[in-house]
Amino acid sequence: MVKTAKKAASFRQTVLLDNSAIAELLAGEAEQANGQLRQALRRAARTAFLWEDEAYDLAAAGKSLTELEGIGPFLERRIQQWLEKTPPLVSPPEIRDDFLTLARARRILLNHPNFAEALQGDLHTHTCWSDGTGTVGEMAIAAKSRSYHYLAITDHTKALKIAHGLSEERLLDQGKEVASVNAVLAEKDVDLVILRSAEVNLTPLGEADLEPSALCGLDLVIGSFHSALRRTEDQTTRYLAALRNPAIHILGHPQGRIFNYREGLRADWARVFAEAARLDKAVEIDAYPDRQDLKLGLLRLALKEGTRISLGTDAHHTWQLAFMDFALAAALLAGFQKDRIVNFMSLQDLRSWSSKRRECFSGGRYHR
Ligand SMILES: [Zn+2]
Ligand SMILES: [Zn+2]
């Protein structure tokens, strides 16, 4: 009891009522509410992470908080009350802990202007070939407008039926479209290359759902778990198996957490990161705002173990390439230098890293 009170008190002293604190208050109120109000509070809590401005800045400028997405007159009054008289704050439970708001991420990046500028590309994006909405060409235009030099198209693969995952045949067809987009980019002298890639669905045993021969032809492969994500027992074995799968370069959204929905898997993370470092494979910061996976606490551990990281927005629409700010800010906060982040490699170095990871994986067969 005393310990909890102390924790709350120190939290109150160190945390301003920023969007993150407001999100937690909204989520906390949702837990006491029912029906539509509960839904509205939960939705607003989630949306607060995407507000570009701090609510306190809007209020100080005399602007209406209804300018913020998800906030109507009722919630505006509630937030204004909190801003005028700070209510008791508690640190968020695990299921909502360690998420950055966009407003905070942008402040962090403003203090490190050279960091984002040096970014070469996004390594986790979806198109209408699986469950995204943009075509390969539209994603290329969006990547060009962000001055990227490469963009990995990482659509889902066949076991993820709900996301229209690609079979070996459709992945080949997509490759032809990627090649034709690359030909247009080269013809127009645009310094951007679309990488053929995939977000391969991994079984809990770390096995991929596509034939090795199909994965051999790709520039880069992300392996992600999309099932059995609510297991509470230690999952170290499945992570080690995934990393040791010769087809995989990057472990996608490793924890499998979702804001206010799922905590993600447990593992001996130091051991997982050490194995990734030994194999020189990367673990991801999935920048999708609800995911932000790996979380900051684990990123610091990955840094200590010497593990490479890869940044990906997991964009399902062209505009979502902007989510990259969450990953960049998290990498900065965790203390990563550019040389440990795959996305700061030149295209040539990226290809060389990728092909070296495949020395044991040639001719469409696995060699151990
Ligand atoms: Zn995924
Ligand atoms: Zn994805």
Q: Quickly name the fold that domain 105-366 has.
A: TIM Barrel (3.20.20)
Distance, in Å, from the CA atom of 78 to the CA atom of 335, rounded to the nearest integer, reads 37
Task: Report d(CA 260, CA 23) in Å as an integer.
Answer: 11
pLDDT recorded at residue 361:
53
Tell me the β-bridge partners of 220: 197
Q: What is the pLDDT of residue 359?
A: 59
> Two tokens at 273?
């990161």
Return phi, psi of residue 58, to 5°.
-60, -45
What is d(CA 143, CA 138) in angstroms, rounded to the nearest whole number? Answer: 9
Residues around the ion ligand 2 (C-beta < 5 A): 199, 314
For the domain with range 2-92, which CATH number is right: 1.10.3470, 3.30.70, 3.90.660, 1.10.150? 1.10.150
Q: How far apart are CA 51 and CA 97, in angstroms?
A: 18
Cα of 272 from ligand 2 centre, angstroms: 21
Q: What is the pLDDT of residue 326?
A: 98
Q: What pLDDT digit, counting tens, does each position of 194-225 carry?
A: 999 999 999 999 999 999 989 988 999 999 99
SS3 85: coil
Ramachandran region of residue 26, left (φ > 0), alpha (ψ -120 to 50) or beta? alpha
Domains in the chain: boundaries:
2-92, 105-366
Exposure string of 281-309, with b = 16+ CB inside 10 Å and e = fewer, is bbbbbbbbbbbbbbbbebbebbbebebbb
pLDDT of 319 reads: 98
Work out the burial of residue 313: count CB atoms within 10 Å of its CB; fewer than 13 is exposed, 13-18 middle, 19 or more buried: buried
C-alpha 223 – ligand 1 centre gap (Å): 8
Which pLDDT score, from 0 to 100, does residue 6 have?
Answer: 44
Closest ligand to residue 256's CA = 1
**Which tokens go with 170?**
């459709």
**Ligand lying nearest the CA atom of residue 154:** 2
Tokens of 137: 């060409």
Question: Which pLDDT value is given to residue 358?
Answer: 76
User: What is this structure's pTM?
Assistant: 0.92
CA of 133: how far to CAs of 164, 241, 302, 312, in Å?
12, 32, 33, 17
Find the helix packing angle between 136-145 and 168-187, rounded to 10°: 40
Instruction: Tell me, in angstroms, the distance from the centre of ligand 2 to residue 267's CA.
Output: 21
Q: Which residues of the chain have pLDDT under 70?
A: 1-15, 359-368
Ligand 2 centroid to 38 CA: how many Å?
29
CA distance 174 to 179: 9
